[in-house]
Structure 1
């Protein structure tokens, strides 16, 4: 993977940050993209301090202008885009009665529309190159029942899986692979900001492996799917949830 170029959305924290660091560790040039530029810059600086190459970009993934601007800047700087990892996302809990129309739109726009917009912007670049790898971030909530996740979050993550399969089918002839990772409960800033300690403990007891996952463990699956080792894998959704999908 050395010398390849990757865009990682949501790269300023959590799983996205772990993906950026692992890709850089394999010699990938990383465009760290986040709605918070200081967070993206910190990750890019961490990569450079470890001997890698990275650049930070600010983008609101729900705004097509922001998305296209980042893609144009990355192509201008690095001349190509080999990998896209869509990690940007937000969460919501509660029953359907608690979800307003604005909240529905906000979660769907960030988690599903944002993934669509970045894929749409990057695909022409990859088609010109004759190859590329896209990895989208879904969730166990998009594949099975969820007791706490709000309906907009569940729908957005199920939509990401459908989008992944549709793109994989459409783009296979162009040499572009599209896959998805569906994490369970992962120890990230988003998890700690949304759930109480009691909620987290309840989740832990429901996981066959007996613990929450770590961002690096999800990132390892994402990097694998983006790598040459996964060259015959497309349209797949990989569970990374400690066995919780079986429960």
Structure 2
């Protein structure tokens, strides 16, 4: 029996790391894509191996085509043909109003969140179409429909684009036996808030969430794992919201 081989971009931390661990439990061999923290990526890979699956870490900037090509080439060489992709790599940029934003930050947000997702999806589609099956899960955000005024409308805009990509690509690749879905997390308690300059954001926003708490990375990973699984075999082109009701 051929093994499931899933590439997870941004797999060294937060939702990505939780997804790598969960997919390993579900029988996936996992490619841990990362940008900077090699040690953190290797820690995740070790957790995957302890779960009984194979894993390899690959440094890749998903907004760079050559890096994406190498990511998939290493995956295939070391683990086998890629059967799944989780487009998780993303950045928010600094919090604040659009009028005050730096064009360099705007460009990077678009490059990582949208172009990176497009490039990885393009590469996965080529592999999966030739084989006649595969699964892609994009990590969107509840911000795509909330707009996130005053926080990061630039980020929200890129995630709305990811939702559009999910729908269009699902229709495009469905006849080839490939499913494409997305998850839209709400406020999740990860280090992304601290990196954006607001470490207390999850706690501060808890009162505005119907479930009165921030989510956990493992809760998002569970939704991703379901979309990757045969149990979701008739789900494509959908965005599963994991946002505590927000």
- TM-score class, shorter-chain normalisation, is over 0.9
Deviation at 1:89, TM superposition (A): 0.6
Matches within 5 A, 1:1-247: 3-36=3-36, 37-92=38-93, 93-194=95-196, 196=198, 199-244=201-246
Q: TM-score, normalised by structure 1?
A: 0.94
- State the number of aligned residues: 244
What CA distance in whole angstroms lies between the structure 2 residues aligned with 1:120 and 1:152? 23
Against the structure 1 CA distance between its residues 90 and 197, is the aligned structure 2 distance closer, same or farther, given a 3 Å change threshold?
closer
The secondary structure found in structure 2 opposite 1:74 is helix
Runs ≥4 residues deviating over 4 A? none
Against the structure 1 CA distance between its residues 198 and 188, is the aligned structure 2 distance closer, same or farther, given a 3 Å change threshold?
closer
Q: CA RMSD in A?
A: 1.6
Residue range with higher mean Cα deviation, 197-206 or 105-114: 197-206
Structure 1: gaps of 5 or more residues: none
Against the structure 1 CA distance between its residues 218 and 163, is the aligned structure 2 distance closer, same or farther, given a 3 Å change threshold?
same
CA contact under 8 A between 1:29 and 1:54: conserved in structure 2? yes
CA contact under 8 A between 2:97 and 2:149: conserved in structure 1? no
Q: TM-score, normalised by structure 2?
A: 0.94
Residue range with higher mean Cα deviation, 25-34 or 44-53: 44-53
CA contact under 8 A between 2:19 and 2:222: conserved in structure 1? yes
What CA distance in whole angstroms lies between the structure 1 residues aligned with 2:193 and 2:2? 32
Structure 2: gaps of 5 or more residues: none
